[in-house]
Amino acid sequence: MPTQMREAIAGLHGRFGCRIFVVALGDPKRPYDGGKVGPWAQTLDELARELDVLIIVSAGNRAPRGGNRIEQAVTEYPGYLTEPANRICEPAGAMNVLTVGALAHGEGLGPEFADDVHVRPITRALEPAPFSRVGPGIGGSTKPDLVDVGGTMVFDPMVGRLRLGEDLASAGVLTLHHRFLDRLFTAGSGTSYAAPLVASKAARLLGRFPNASANLMRALLAGASEVPQPAELRLQPLGNDTVRAVCGNGRPNAERAAYSDDHRVVLFAEDELPLDHFAVYQVPIPELFQGGGRRTIRVSLAYDPPVRHTRADYAGVGMSFRLVRGCDPALIFDHFRRRTQAEGRRPDLDNRFNCGMEPGPRERERNTVQTASVTFTRDTDAYGGSYHLVVRCEAGWAASFETRQRFALVVEMQHQPEVQLYARLRAQVRLPA
């Protein structure tokens, strides 16, 4: 399969210039067990890096296994999603791709079941689909990266089984039939239906930014994603780690990824760094953003390191970021630069200068697409408009043959709806014509 996948993706990219690919395939016999990913995942990661293409992979599906009776698919939901056998399957563990899990579109019951007390739903709208495989991925990385609607399933005691969209149209999402001359539409349930929805949103982004790299598309989509409230409420009793393992960064909003609003501004950059170097970006913070209500800064970083599935460290390069406020740039550079032994210990950077973004660095740095945010409710005018984003590139085993690593960076600033943040920031920042 890896060879076939390489030929197919490279061929379509070379002949037609295709930039976005959906891989709605997986090997259910190879769920990720916490060790190394397989050669199929490595092939996709290599293609994403070599061709600068966005590859979107479905997380995989598995019928509920909670308990010994079929009806326990209802009563044990959502606990069985976290079973070890329900981990993402090959090649969904690839790091340079976007892995997509599924959310339910609703209860899955049509009007014909309105008065039937026997047929029971498992989910409500925007809760995790009961068949969606979960993370974490290699090294504890966030997998799936994103989620979107992929249908659901219902328990029907009259036929003695769980029914998916292929069997009961109301349990699935609408899609095209593969035999379109006989039948134009059909329904289905699975992460294979959620992945194309994310691809559609990526295509809209590419239409807005035709020259965007795959890294930029990944960063924009991750930065515009949120875990739906119904999913969070359903999973919260199982802990924050479960929310992230099932829903990743959440469901992407294409409009939010592609456009700024009056009270919300999206800035982005594409760049590259020499290995074992860092860059410092000044983030413009207008005076009105320093007080007057709830304000949020969200930072997203995406990069595509070289990989080898035979190595303990799968990725050959690591990247990270820190958001620093109210600090002299000279101190920032002196703190983060590499020092010789003769120079001694680096100067401390007081913790008050650090913007405590969530998730924290330990959790987000396991991923090649990272997103984190910080929300302010008190005035921050003591720090002024001096905010700096430090991006670091750390060489691993790839230092023997690579010299630079490319990446994309997205910063979203959001204020309360009545605040005209975009106009103020546009006046402060000189934008290219």
Give the residue, 182 or 231, on which the prediction is more confident.
Answer: 231
Q: What is the mean pLDDT of residues 62-80?
A: 85
Structure-token match 């990069």, residue found: 303
User: At residue 432, does pLDDT exceed 80?
Assistant: no
pLDDT of residue 430: 65
pLDDT at 406: 98
Q: What is the mean pLDDT of residues 257-261?
A: 95
At 54-64, the pLDDT tens digits run: 999 999 999 98
Q: Give the model confidence (pLDDT) of 354-401 as tens digits.
A: 999 999 999 999 999 999 999 999 888 888 888 999 999 999 999 999
Predicted pLDDT at 350: 84
Band (pLDDT 50/70/90 cuts) for residue 135 is very high
Lowest mean pLDDT among 111-125, 237-251, 311-325: 111-125
Q: What DSSP assignment string belongs to 24-58?
A: ----TT-B--SS---HHHHHHHHHHHHHT-EEEEE
**DSSP, residue by residue, 163-205:** E-TTTSGGGSEEEE-SSTTT-SEEEE-SHHHHHHHHHHHHHHH
Note the pLDDT of residue 348: 80
Domain ranges of the chain: 2-257, 260-428
Name the nearest CA neighbour of 80 among 99, 93, 67.
67
Q: How confident is the model at residue 163 (pLDDT cuts 50, 70, 90)?
A: very high
Show the tokens assigned to 401: 């043959």
Q: How confident is the model at residue 88, as a pLDDT?
A: 97
> What's the number of CA atoms in the CB half-sphere (13 Å) around residue 259?
8
What is the per-residue pLDDT across 330-349, written as a single tens digit (0 to 9) for each?
Answer: 889 988 888 777 777 777 88
**CB-CB contact of 384 with 326 (8 Å):** yes
Q: What is the pTM of this model?
A: 0.94
CATH of span 260-428: 2.60.120.380
Reference 23, options 424, 333, 310, 45; nearest CA is: 45
Burial 389-417 (b: 16+ CB within 10 A, else e): bbbbbbbbebeeebeebbbbbbbbbbbee
pLDDT score of 433 more than 60: no
Q: pLDDT exceeding 90 applies to what percent of the chain?
A: 75
| Contact present, 82 and 238 (Cβ < 8 Å) | yes
Looking at the chain, the whole-number percentage of residues with pLDDT higher than 70 is 98
pLDDT at 116 over 90: no
CATH number of 2-257: 3.40.50.200
Q: Give the chain's mean pLDDT.
A: 93
